[in-house]
Amino acid sequence: MAIVIGDYNRKGGVGKTSSIINLAAEFALCGKKVLLIDGDSQTNLTQFFFCEDEELFDGGRIRGNVDTLYQVLQEEIDIRDTIMTKEFSARRKWRNKFRKISCTLDIIMGSREMDYYDNEDMEILKKKLSVLEEDYDYILIDFPPAHNLVTMTYLLACDYVIVPLHLAKDTSTYGYEDVIERCREARNEYGNRNLQVLGLFYINVQLYKDDQKILYELSMEEEMRNAMRLFETTIKHDYGAMQMSESEKKPLCITSGSSEIARNYRALAKEIEKRIEEERGI
């Protein structure tokens, strides 16, 4: 049965989209079946994967005949018909030999029209995803940096939420506090009793900067780490690797598999899986 995970922070620019792309790729690289859903009207995830596909995009905008998440939620269409597939591969040296690695990701494209979403059925996404329960190991939803009808609809479809935080941005911490409150609302007022904040993780970490180092060390004290459900893995700053990934429109595990940041995402994916197993008593 698919586990549905959302990445959510009210603060924008904290690395939600890049994180969910690279976590999805790491899961897929390990043989998991993964569906990515672009739930943000900014459509950054969609553009990462498809902006160079002229059958889907015209002048930077999604063509009108392409079904997106908006159509899934607003119209009577089969969600399976909207799923796009991307395959990635690379050659890696291992024990003095080269071997091919590959991963496959299924994706539901986002839409700017989500700014005008008005379906009053708060469980519509949950219902739509129910037909895919046996098709995937993980369904990952990229949230917008907001709290509104859209994000509550996503929360009602999720089993877990993960929260990326930027050490250099205090407002991302405030955003985390709001995520806690919104998840409580989804549980108590809207009935998603299974929803949990799985944990938060730091992204774009630069511990050579004194202000980040101090905040990091304080938060890594056991009492604070447990209270915040902080993952041990942090995602280090790596401008070069991220630029290569963005330029080639491929996940880090494909473009820069031996980089520290790719290893960080690999470790975080394993930690997420382990925490889910602990939560479910597996």
What pLDDT score does 64 carry?
87
Dist. CA 62–CA 130, nearest whole Å: 27
What pLDDT score does 207 carry?
66
> What is the DSSP-derived secondary structure letter of residue 230?
B
Helix (H) or strand (E) holding 72: helix 69-74
Phi, psi (degrees; rounded to nearest 5) at 204: 60, 40
Q: What is the CB neighbour count within 10 angstroms for residue 38?
A: 27
What pLDDT score does 27 carry?
97
- Taking the chain (282 residues) in runs of 10, the rounded mean pLDDT of each run is 92 84 97 97 95 89 92 93 94 73 95 91 96 97 91 96 78 67 92 92 76 63 67 91 95 94 97 94 77
Q: Which domains does the chain have, with CATH numbers?
A: 3-280 (3.40.50.300)
What pLDDT score does 120 carry?
86
What pLDDT score does 212 carry?
63
The torsion defined by the Cα of 143, 36, 3 and 24, in degrees rounded to 10, comes to -100
Q: Which of 228, 232, 222 is nearest to 274 (CA)?
A: 232
What pLDDT score does 268 carry?
97
What pLDDT score does 18 carry?
95
Dist. CA 152–CA 186, nearest whole Å: 7
Dist. CA 21–CA 26, nearest whole Å: 9
CA distance to 36, 113, 153, 171, 212, per residue, from 178 (Å): 24, 25, 16, 11, 22
